[in-house]
Amino acid sequence: LIPDLIYTQNISAKWLRDNEVSLDVLRLDEMHPIVSGNKWFKLKYYLQQAIDEGKNTVATFGGAYSNHIIATAYACKEAGLKSIGFIRGEPAEKLSSTLYQAEKSGMQLIYVSREKYTQKQQIIDEYSKENWYIINEGGYGILGAKGAAEILDYVAENDYTHILASVGTATMLAGLVMGAEQHQQIIGISSMKGNTSLEQAVKDLLSQTKTYPSYSILHNYHFGGYAKHPKALIAFITETWRQFQLPLDIVYTSKLFFAIIDLVNKNYFLPGSKLLMIHSGGLQGNNSLPQNPLALS
Ligand SMILES: *Cc1c(COP(=O)(O)O)cnc(C)c1O
């Protein structure tokens, strides 16, 4: 897991030139083929704290295709910690590629019914042992944001006017707000349909006494909802790969890149704007499709 592998990719396209806007993509997906970029940053300080507190096991929550689950499994193995994943729903007949890889990294999977899954504290009370360290679903929390705040340290020359990133729990967004320059504007694209609690989720991770750069979350690029991937989105992923050799995942980064094109074309950004898109990884999730849209001949 080597952050040194991170680089920015410049996107050259007519829709950018016509609107006098530039776009670079921070390729966190290139850090590792399985552990998606932002998850490595988000996990860093949790695992540090687990080790500092003398814990030997990390437990967390996620679905069968969760980038967070697989990243936790792998990062724990690297850190010499045991890992346990509470997985939402019943075990499928065939293990998802995500869970297969998580198990291969030594994670113990415990399936909990969808109903029980909503009662996280109950699950913790029932299973947790003294030497366990619990990480929230999706890595939501202040230490997660603290790690994500370091993402921008990997930008060679941070002279961007806007930073754009996809939003799940909003932990990364909070981190970017913490790590950005005062004059920069941070825009989050929600992968979920109508999850308006995200604004509060960001606020809860930020200090009340500091002034931050301005940020916003856009809610109209969800393509039907979380993890929904209609044909149009799959076609968009294939086309983006063909045109720019930019690989996108079905849950997060495809919706983000789509939103950027749409916003540029709608003159959302003033001429002269310099955009940075955070490619937060997640490409392993495409393995859940019958055919990976990036597997072009
Ligand atoms: C988890 C994830 C996100 C969302 O990050 P949050 O901090 O939960 O908002 C975005 N992109 C990818 C690829 C992810 O795996």
Check if 249 has its Cβ closer than 6 Å to any atom of ligand 1: yes
Of the residues 249, 252, 279, 286, which should be mutated to test ligand 1's pocket, given the most ligand atoms within 8 Å of the CB?
A: 252
Residue nearest to atom 5 of ligand 1 (CA): 168
**Could you give phi then psi for residue 60, rounded to 5 degrees?**
-150, -175
pTM of the model: 0.96
Ligand 1 centre from 173 Cα, in Å?
A: 9
Check if 285 has its Cβ closer than 6 Å to any atom of ligand 1: no
The pLDDT of residue 297 is: 41
The pLDDT of residue 2 is: 66
Of the residues 25, 36, 199, which should be mutated to test ligand 1's pocket, given the most ligand atoms within 8 Å of the CB?
A: 36
Angle, nearest 10°, between helix axes 171-179 and 37-52?
Answer: 90
Q: What is the DSSP string of the chain?
A: --GGG--EEEE--HHHHHTT-EEEEEEGGGG-SSS-HHHHHHHHHHHHHHHHTT--EEEEEE-TT-HHHHHHHHHHHHHT-EEEEEEESPPPSS--HHHHHHHHTTEEEEEE-HHHHT-HHHHHHHH--TTEEE--GGG-SHHHHHHHTTGGGG-SS---SEEEEEESSSHHHHHHHHHS-TT-EEEEEESSSS-TTHHHHHHHHS-SSS----EEEE-S--TTSTT---HHHHHHHHHHHHHH-----TTTHHHHHHHHHHHHHTT-S-TT-EEEEEE---GGGGGGSSS-TT---
Check if 141 has its Cβ closer than 6 Å to any atom of ligand 1: no
Q: How confident is the model at residue 35 (pLDDT cuts 50, 70, 90)?
A: confident
Ligand 1 centre from 133 Cα, in Å?
A: 21
pLDDT tens digit sequence for 180-196: 999 999 999 999 999 99
pLDDT tens digit sequence for 105-164: 999 999 999 999 999 999 999 999 999 999 999 999 999 999 999 999 999 899 999 999
CA 61 from centre of chain: 15
Atom of ligand 1 nearest to the CA of 148: 7
Round the average pLDDT of the chain to a whole number and report it: 95
> CA-to-CA distance for 149 and 174, rounded, in angstroms?
8
Residue nearest to atom 3 of ligand 1 (CA): 168
Comparing CA positions, the residue from 175, 205, 202, 177 lying closest to residue 190 is 202
Amino acid, res. 181: E
Ligand 1 centre from 286 Cα, in Å?
A: 14
pLDDT tens digit sequence for 216-247: 999 999 999 999 999 999 999 999 999 999 99
The fraction of the chain above a pLDDT of 90, given in percent, is: 91
pLDDT tens digit sequence for 44-82: 999 999 999 999 999 999 999 999 999 999 999 999 999
Check if 284 has its Cβ closer than 6 Å to any atom of ligand 1: no
Q: How confident is the model at residue 37 (pLDDT cuts 50, 70, 90)?
A: confident
Q: How confident is the model at residue 296 (pLDDT cuts 50, 70, 90)?
A: low
Atom of ligand 1 nearest to the CA of 281: 13
pLDDT tens digit sequence for 238-291: 999 999 999 999 999 999 999 999 999 999 999 999 999 999 999 999 988 888
The pLDDT of residue 1 is: 58
